[in-house]
Amino acid sequence: MRIGIYGGSFDPIHYGHLLLAESAREQLQLDKVLLVPAAIAPHKRGHESAPATARIEMLKLAISGNTALEISLLEIDRGGVSYTIDTLVALHESYPGAELILLVGGDTLVDMPNWKDPEKIAAIARIAVVDRPGANFESVLVPGAEVLRVSMPLIDFSSREIRDRVAHGQSICYRMPRGVEQYIRHAGLYANTVSNSATDA
């Protein structure tokens, strides 16, 4: 079994996330892709995310009907700061014999040498990178890493931008599945929060 692992805050999930997951599933011939919402992402400590329950509900709405995409609550249930290596170790134990493929954007791969235990990450999972605008990862060195390539059409907007648009009363139509958009409106998410983070996809 080949399993894609795609972690993030998903605050909120949008079409860029979904297209990345589907492009990787198709091009890498994955049996499924696990979407792993973070409890607290290491690079976003201090950023106030939507509640985990809301982010999970948006994920459920976004992938409804697509049996190849699944939600893993591993990091939410564990709580605290979510480190990729801890998640991969747990998934390796849960899926013995499966080939784990970590899905990241090119901008994320650039920072991977600074992650917790990058060499151990490379030993447990292959890494699949999706090009992002302005990311130069040709010289990224993670000892032992096997890096696969995934191509996808450019979708140049982010969760941060969506949060800011909601906060300013602007349209978020066509940036995510309609059910997710309606949930954000009905739940009143992001209405009073303007993000200062430039790193949130």
Any idea which residue has 């983070």 for tokens? Answer: 197
pTM: 0.89
- Which structure tokens are listed for 175? 């940036």
- Model pLDDT, residue 113: 83
* Class of domain 2-155 (CATH, top level): alpha beta
Domain ranges of the chain: 2-155
**Could you tell me the pLDDT band of residue 46, with boundaries at 50, 70 and 90?**
low
**Could you tell me the pLDDT band of residue 175, with boundaries at 50, 70 and 90?**
very high
The mean predicted confidence, pLDDT, of the chain is 88
C-alpha angle 145-149-150 in degrees, rounded to nearest 5: 135
- Model pLDDT, residue 135: 56
d(CA 53, CA 121): 28
Q: Which residues contact 127 (CB under 8 A, 6 or more apart)?
A: 101, 102, 104, 109, 112, 121, 142, 145, 146, 147, 148
- Model pLDDT, residue 110: 75
